[in-house]
Amino acid sequence: MPLNGIGMELSYFVRKRVPMSLPYQWILFDADETLFYFDALKGLKLMFGEFGVDFTQADFDEYQLVNKPLWVDYQDGKITAAELQTTRFEPWAAKLAVAPQALNSAFLSAMAEICAPLPGARELLSALQGKAKLGIITNGFTELQTVRLQRTGLQHHFDILVISEKVGIAKPDVGIFEHALELMGRPAREQVLMVGDNLHSDIQGGLNAGIHTCWYNVHGHAASAGITPNYQVNSHQELQQILGL
């Protein structure tokens, strides 16, 4: 199928192998920091360099004071994707006398230029080929997603690509998962696995939708109370082992 439009101890529970009697028909992935590097500082340095600006770590820290709360508001449904993309660049747009939309597009282009799969991601997707249908559900923006898939040569692995900006709903809202399930032909929810690095948007969102979840926790973050993924891994290789590949 082509891309659609373009109080239990986790150490035991989440690391056991999936029983062979419980195969997953579908495996859904988050994109940024689950399949792909997302080095925002590197992308911003590259982008601002085109405008003659030496973008520093201090500049990045200041940018994040604006950017991070906007992402929380976006995931909570308080602002739109367009508002996030323009608002985060308004201070720099005023300094450089350019439209914030122009800075946002330049940033996404820079991120596409430096894109690369995370270690083991390509091998995991290849190992899954023909064994399960694959999809992406991302809160990332449309302008980056398809270009990145094409440049990395990974687009052929995926049966669906669900982008919150196009759907109008962001993870963890159950609506974006319901939209994906509709595209998938409404499989049994216990036969769907969501893999992602964000405990709130990916894992809580997947649990709210009634599907199984795997937390890609490469940095060893502590779990949040009340959010218990079915599995936890710190590498794509570990996920391959869990899936018996």
User: Phi and psi of 163, rounded to 5°?
Assistant: -115, 125
Measured N-to-C along each axis, helices 100-113 and 40-49 cross at an angle, to the nearest 10 degrees, of 120
Helix and strand numbers (H, E) in the chain are: 12, 6
The residue to which tokens 């940095």 are assigned: 219
Cα–Cα nearest to 172, from 118, 124, 211: 211
User: Phi and psi of 68, rounded to 5°?
Assistant: -60, -45
Instruction: Please indicate whether residue 30 is annotated as part of the active site.
Output: yes
Say which of 30, 32, 197, 202 is annotated catalytic: 30
H-run or E-run covering 103: helix 100-113
Q: HSE (CB half, 13 Å, CA atoms) of 71?
A: 13
Residues annotated as part of the active site: 30
